[in-house]
Chains A and B, each alone.
Chain A
């Protein structure tokens, strides 16, 4: 793993407008294992559509474990996974959940997608969860999240779905 990693968080645009939810990718130029965004962007259009459907369903606060879920285990409570099947293989996008604006939008929950895994079984490799959890606990990652999802300033309307806030 590279020693000096820099992180960026990119909101996923054009999805369902969730009132209190948003989805984003974590990227790092130095760490190729953080590959959720590159894998998603490289999917065939129909498969990307399928994953987008699942993103939309989560943003609408839908519940359906075959599409996505978190874990009850206290160690992995902030971990999250989106799932789909491709060529009889189980595809997974792992990430972590975070509330980036506790001061001004405490209900806003963001799922930051980190890594991709392809497997033959439903079984979750704890290494994937440990990786997502460790990233979610890093101060520089949290800082990158907060840069994309800053606390609202006085008089500013908050919309977690628009992309224009990224520039601020």
Chain B
């Protein structure tokens, strides 16, 4: 029998999990950032003990508090609604940290145009010399040597591919056009 994730029991449970994911991001920022827990507490007008309490047991964090905590650390907050093809919540929520990692890896797009162009990153693209295939963490660029005819594969980071191709959407569109032309 397939069971739902525990956050499916109530909205409060789901909120609890969101709160946990959120404070985990803050705790990690505190570990690596310039602020100490004492300084962070001072900005918020709280004691160090209260901060530990919040991190250890976030409970049901309100949006207002979430924003206040994030801003104290120089961060911003987005509330993301997403469809992960799991309407019954069998798998559990995707951690907010994963969204943040993906956003950074995509070059931190700040407008819709840039974000729309990024949507093509999941497709295969062809430029004049290379075939660019998406890989788990970046891209594989396959190049055929004009001299020997041998194929050479090179692993590239997403940002490098973006710089190389300029516009991945255009490259993908061209690839699709070519595929249609040869009846692929």
A: residues with CB less than 8 A from B are 13-17, 46, 49-50, 52-53, 56-57, 60, 62, 64, 66-67, 84-85, 162-164
| Secondary structure of the A contact surface, majority rule | loop
Could you tell me if A60 and B98 are in contact, using CB atoms closer than 8 angstroms?
Answer: yes
Q: List A contacts of B98 (CB < 8 A).
A: 60
Q: Given A56-B17, A62-B24, A163 and B3 touching (CB < 8 A)?
A: yes
Q: Given A15-B92, A50-B56, A56-B92, A64 and B5 touching (CB < 8 A)?
A: no
Q: Given A53-B20, A64-B24, A13 and B91 touching (CB < 8 A)?
A: no
Q: Given A46-B59, A50-B56, A163-B1, A17 and B90 touching (CB < 8 A)?
A: yes
CB-CB nearest 8 A-B residue pairs:
A16-B92, A53-B20, A17-B91, A14-B6, A85-B56, A14-B3, A60-B95, A162-B2
For this complex, 21 residue pairs linking A to B, each with C-beta atoms less than 8 Å apart, are: A13-B3, A14-B5, A15-B6, A15-B92, A16-B92, A17-B5, A46-B57, A50-B57, A57-B20, A57-B24, A60-B98, A64-B27, A64-B28, A67-B24, A85-B52, A162-B1, A162-B2, A162-B3, A163-B1, A164-B1, A164-B2
Could you tell me if B13 and A62 are in contact, using CB atoms closer than 8 angstroms?
Answer: no
Cβ of B16 under 8 Å from chain A: yes
Q: How far is the CA of A126 from the CA of B24 in the complex (A)?
A: 28
Chain A proximity mask over B14-41: 1 for CB below 8 Å, otherwise 0: 0011001000100110000000000000
Residue B4 contacts which of A14, A50, A85 (CB distance < 8 angstroms)? A14
Chain A proximity mask over B119-162: 1 for CB below 8 Å, otherwise 0: 00000000000000000000000000000000000000000000
Q: List A contacts of B28 (CB < 8 A).
A: 64
Could you tell me if B5 and A49 are in contact, using CB atoms closer than 8 angstroms?
Answer: no
Q: List A contacts of B167 (CB < 8 A).
A: none
Chain A nearest CB from B106 CB (Å) reads 19
Q: List A contacts of B91 (CB < 8 A).
A: 16-17
